[in-house]
Structures are given as structure tokens and as C-alpha cells.
A and B are shown apart, each in its own frame.
Chain A
Amino acid sequence: MTALARLLAALFSRPATLAMMAATALGYALLFLWLSGDIAGGGRGDVRLSITAWHRMFESRGPLRFEPVGLVELGPWVWTLSPLDTLIALGLGLLLGGNLAGLWLSRRAPAACPRRAPASGGLAALPALLAGGACCAPLLVVWLGLPIAGGLAVLAPWLIPLAYLALLLGLVRLAVWREQQRHQARGGGR
């Protein structure tokens, strides 16, 4: 736990890693919301915001998917705004950003041992991109026309929790690796 706290402190105290995490969180959230259908085309060039259904904020429409409360129109884009979907997307993006920034940090530090920092954390963000989608199938599957929606639908309830767990594990592995590096460096210095 201390190792993870140290890594987080390092990530949040440096402007470069902080910027990397913020940019990744935003980019991933936009991608997630686009692939889950919350952000889509259909805008008519206007800028418009209408919030009409706050009372539906906590209504579920699928595993870890919640009802939109309003519509944001921005140029050609329409965002059916679900605050909880957005929070989930930003949370995943932040964890992905933490993994990427942590990896960058560890690659920049002078290596005390030949073993490289674990780099698989970023892949953990992929399953969640298949979680959302059309009424009955992930949008990627619809667009690609793959007859695998039946199998994915069985996994659907687990995809987002799985992504969260895998991203957290990625961060923990990075933190442990950094701690081992610190110990190696201290041992070498004596």
C-alpha cells in the first residue's frame, strides 16, 4: 500500500505526469463515450444544452450503464449526457493515464536492475471499450459486423469491473517495481 501511495504521490506532484494523466483521462473518456453511443453524430451545428431528466440519473440501462439526463449539442456532435457514465469513463481514463504516466516515469529513472517496468497496464483499458454500445450489441461489433455479440453479451456485466481491476493491478505492479528499484538503488549505494 505504501508503494502505491508513493507512486501516486509521485504522479500527482509532477506537472508532466499530471498533464499526461489529465489528457489520457479526457481522451479515453471521449473514446469510451463515443463507443458506448453517448457521444454520436446528428448535431446540426448548434451549441445547445438541455437538461430535462435529472430524476433518471441513477436509473440503470445495463451493467454499469445509466440513463442520460440531458442533451448537449456541439456542432456536428450530440452528447446524451449521463453523469454516472461520464464518471465511470473518466475514472477508467484516469487509471489508464496513471499506468501510462507511471510507466513513463519508471522508464526515465536510471534502472538499478535489468528487469524492465511492467508495461501491460495500458491494455487493461481495452475490455471496457466493448462494454457499451447499441441497444443490444457493442458498437464496435455492430460496425465491424462480427457475429460475436452473443458471447460478448454474456461477458458484458464484467467488462467494466474487469477493466477497473486490471488497471488497478497494473498500477500496483508499477508501484512494486518502483519500490524494488529504490531498494536496489539503496543497496547499490552502500
Chain B
Amino acid sequence: MMARALLTVILGLSLLLAGAAASWAAAPPTLSDPQVPLAHSLAAFRQAVRPGGPGKDGIPAIDRPRFVSASEADAWLASGDRVIGLYRDGEARAYPQRVLVWHEIVNDVVAGESLAITYCPLTGSALGFRRGDSEFGVSGRLLNSNLVMYDRATDSEWPQLLGVAIDGSLVGRGLVPERLVWTTWEAWRARHPGTRVLSRDTGYVRNYRRDPYGDYNPVAGYYRPESRRLFPVMAEDTRLPPKAMVLAFREAEGAAAVSLPALREAGMVRLTLGERAYAYVVIHDPELDTGWVFRTSAGQAIDPASLRFGPGGVSGPGIEALEPVNAFQVMWFAWAGFHPDTLLVGEGGVP
């Protein structure tokens, strides 16, 4: 009798351990020391999470994405429609905003790498992450108005803009980012004529001709820079209108945002972060209307006139030696909510 009970306990424990090991094996690749400055403790972030309305997976991620050619997409995408672009090892993909607004996450494989393409309409942010054998889903919860994702291997919770798990077995670990570009269909198509485009055949029925929040072409409704946010945030900063789009990046030493009108006008912005004054250069890409960020040394000269823009981003004398830093566009209120100490370049004009 005693032996049978012991055997049952051992078997149960083994099954539990095997289950945990299997979910860990399928967990997304993570960094134990994410290069993300945390303005609050993970417990404070957890406490600030709010229900968004729909339940877990109420906004369904696209797990088996289908793609169409650029000429097929021309039939339903207008030149000024926003797309989220990805270029990796010679493959270009465009994920139309009007499709992603209904799904928020695409679990895709591009050039052999499993990636999660994520988009939060409430914060206007598109970020890519490596996902390994796991998939990501929409938790239905928000932090600073921003999408909280979960990974289906460990059920850990990841605010999209933070990219660091705030709950679950991967708590404190960071995801590996992948650069995405927020631009127009016309600009992306011109840069990548052979791009594939996420199809509207998603397996779900949605009205892909309409965005429930407003419009980006032209900007209207919720997306107007001066319009108000809908959900609470942990910190407010009125240096810019709430939904002004900024190009943002961060490393362990600090966070920075560059206002887009200022970047457009300046063409190139240099800035330093942290006590040790790490230097960065932000280069405006006039065709895609985005920025490319590099870590640099203070005196390193870059001649803007010699820069070229191609499928992989910016190139030119001196660029290859620099270390690229992931950057993305995001609404100002959300960036300031996560990074209240952020440096802001271009407040009220050109730096």
C-alpha cells in the first residue's frame, strides 16, 4: 500500500517535471539580462495591468499567415495605407495595419527564423520578437494602454513595449527584438518590389476595410496626435501631444525618443544616454520616413551626403562599423508611460 502511494507520488512528480521541461524547451529565446531600463519594479508593472475588454485570445493572433504578391495587394491597399515592414536575409514582408488592427500578433516564420510580429493599435507600436518554438497570443490585458502578450509555451506575460516578462516562469527575462518598419504601402513597395504581403485570408471573418479606432490615411479618430488616450498610464508627460509619433529606442543606460518632424528636418541626430554618456546617431530614412539608430563613438564622423538607403536600411562610409540598435515608432504617451525618464529630442522643434 505504502509502496503504491510512493510510486504514485514519484510518477506524478515526474510528469510535472516532464511537463515543465517540455514547456521550457519550447519557450521563446530570451535574454537573462535584458537591455531595457525599468522605471518601476516588476511587481509595480503587474499591479498596473488592467483588463482591456476582450478575454484571453479574444483578439485572435494569426498563427498560419498566408501571403499574396505586391501586385495582388495593390487591389486592396492604397498607397498611403500603413504597413509594418520586415526585411530579413533577402525576404521582405509587409503586414498591413488594417489587418493587424484586428489581430495584433502574427506568428510567422521568415527566412527560417520564427518571429512574432506584434502591433498594438492603442499605442501605435509595431515590434518584432524572436519566438523560437513558442507562439504568442493576446492576453486581453493592457499595461500603460499597451498590449500585454503571453507566450503559449510558459504562459508568461510580456507587455509589448517592454519586451520583458512581468509575470510567469520567465519573469524578468527579455525577448530578442527584430527590427520592423512602420511606413506606407507605397514606400515599402518602392523599397522592396518583391515583397510578400499578409493576406486578408486569415482564417477569421473581420471587416478589413475598416479600422474601429480611426484612420491613418489620412490620420483621424483615435490616432489624431491631440486626441486623448482611453486607458490609464503609470506616468504622464505633456512635452508632446499624447499621440505624437516618436522614434524610440532604449538600452540599459537609458531610453530616448526623437520626434519625427524634428528627425525629418534634421536628417541626422546625435545624442548621448546615461551617466557614461554613450553616444548614438539617429539617421532619417527619407523614403520610408523612419529612423535607423546606431551606437557610435562621440567623434565618429558620418557624412549624411554619402549615405545610401537600400533593402537592409542605411549604408555608407563609416556605417558598417557601427552597432545597430533596435528602434520603433510609438505614440508619445505610451513611451513616456513606460520610460518616464526618457530623453526627448525635438521637443517643440528641431534639435
> In the bound complex, how far is the Cα of B101 from the Cα of A44, in angstroms?
21
A118 within 8 A of B: no
Within 8 A of A (CB), among B188-227: 203-207, 209-210, 212-214, 221-222, 227
Q: Is there an interface contact between A78 and B210, defined as CB atoms closer than 8 Å?
A: yes
Q: Is there an interface contact between B210 and A137, defined as CB atoms closer than 8 Å?
A: no
Q: Is there an interface contact between A136 and B207, defined as CB atoms closer than 8 Å?
A: no
Residues of B within 8 A of A65 (CB): 54, 58
Q: Is there an interface contact between B228 and A146, defined as CB atoms closer than 8 Å?
A: yes
- Out of B53, B121, B205, B212, name the residue touching A156 (CB < 8 Å): B53
Interface size on A, as a range, is 35 or more
Residue of B nearest to A144 (CB): B228
Interface-located stretch among B229-237, B249-257, B320-328: B229-237
> In the bound complex, how far is the Cα of B122 from the Cα of A65, in angstroms?
21
> In the bound complex, how far is the Cα of B214 from the Cα of A56, in angstroms?
27
B142 within 8 A of A: yes
Size of the chain B interface, CB-CB below 8 angstroms: 33
B153 within 8 A of A: no
Residue of B nearest to A71 (CB): B205
Q: A80-B205, A142-B222, A145-B228 are in contact. Are A156 and B51 (CB under 8 A)?
A: yes
A127 within 8 A of B: no
Q: Is there an interface contact between A42 and B50, defined as CB atoms closer than 8 Å?
A: no
Residues of A within 8 A of B60 (CB): 61
- Out of B58, B205, B228, name the residue touching A60 (CB < 8 Å): B58
Q: Is there an interface contact between B121 and A135, defined as CB atoms closer than 8 Å?
A: yes
**What is the distance, in angstroms, from A96's C-beta to the closest C-beta of chain B?**
23
Among A60, A69, A81, chain B packs the most CB atoms within 10 A around the CB of: A60
B109 within 8 A of A: no
Residues of A within 8 A of B209 (CB): 41-42, 78
B87 within 8 A of A: no
Q: Mark A75-101, 1 if CB is under 8 A from B, else 0.
A: 000101100000000000000000000
B59 within 8 A of A: yes
Residues of B within 8 A of A145 (CB): 222, 227-228, 230
Residue of A nearest to B55 (CB): A62
Q: Is there an interface contact between A137 and B53, defined as CB atoms closer than 8 Å?
A: yes
**What is the distance, in angstroms, from B148's C-beta to the closest C-beta of chain A?**
11
Among A68, A71, A133, A147, chain B packs the most CB atoms within 10 A around the CB of: A147
Q: Mark A41-71, 1 if CB is under 8 A from B, else 0.
A: 1100000000011001000111101011111
B172 within 8 A of A: no
Q: Mark B26-66, 1 if CB is under 8 A from A, else 0.
A: 00000000000000000000000011111100111000000
Q: A67-B204, A67-B205, A153-B50 are in contact. Are A142 and B55 (CB under 8 A)?
A: no
Residue of A nearest to B142 (CB): A136
Residues of B within 8 A of A41 (CB): 209-210
**What is the distance, in angstroms, from B216's C-beta to the closest C-beta of chain A?**
15
Residues of A within 8 A of B227 (CB): 145
Within 8 A of A (CB), among B128-152: 142
Majority secondary structure of chain A interface residues (helix, strand, loop or mixed): mixed
A176 within 8 A of B: no
Q: Is there an interface contact between A133 and B53, defined as CB atoms closer than 8 Å?
A: yes
Residues of B within 8 A of A135 (CB): 52-54, 59, 101-102, 104, 121, 212-213
**What is the distance, in angstroms, from A39's C-beta to the closest C-beta of chain B?**
9
Q: Is there an interface contact between A147 and B121, defined as CB atoms closer than 8 Å?
A: no
Q: Is there an interface contact between A134 and B50, defined as CB atoms closer than 8 Å?
A: no
**What is the distance, in angstroms, from B242's C-beta to the closest C-beta of chain A?**
10
Among B53, B54, B206, chain A packs the most CB atoms within 10 A around the CB of: B53
> In the bound complex, how far is the Cα of B104 from the Cα of A139, in angstroms?
18
**What is the distance, in angstroms, from A161's C-beta to the closest C-beta of chain B?**
15
Q: Mark B141-171, 1 if CB is under 8 A from A, else 0.
A: 0100000000000000000000000000000
Q: Is there an interface contact between B210 and A142, defined as CB atoms closer than 8 Å?
A: no
Residues of A within 8 A of B59 (CB): 61, 135-136
Residues of A within 8 A of B203 (CB): 53
- Out of B54, B212, B214, name the residue touching A62 (CB < 8 Å): B54
> In the bound complex, how far is the Cα of B178 from the Cα of A189, in angstroms?
84
Q: A60-B55, A150-B50 are in contact. Are A142 and B204 (CB under 8 A)?
A: no
Contacts A/B (CB < 8 Å), 9 sampled: A37-B212, A53-B203, A69-B205, A71-B205, A78-B210, A80-B207, A137-B53, A141-B230, A153-B53
Which B residues fall within an 8 A CB radius of A?
50-55, 58-60, 101-102, 104, 121-122, 142, 203-207, 209-210, 212-214, 221-222, 227-232
Pick the 10 closest A-B CB pairs, nearest first. Answer: A42-B209, A134-B212, A149-B230, A136-B52, A68-B205, A62-B54, A42-B210, A61-B58, A153-B53, A150-B231
With A62-B53, A63-B55 known, 8 other A-B pairs at CB within 8 A are: A37-B207, A42-B207, A68-B206, A134-B121, A137-B52, A142-B214, A153-B51, A153-B53
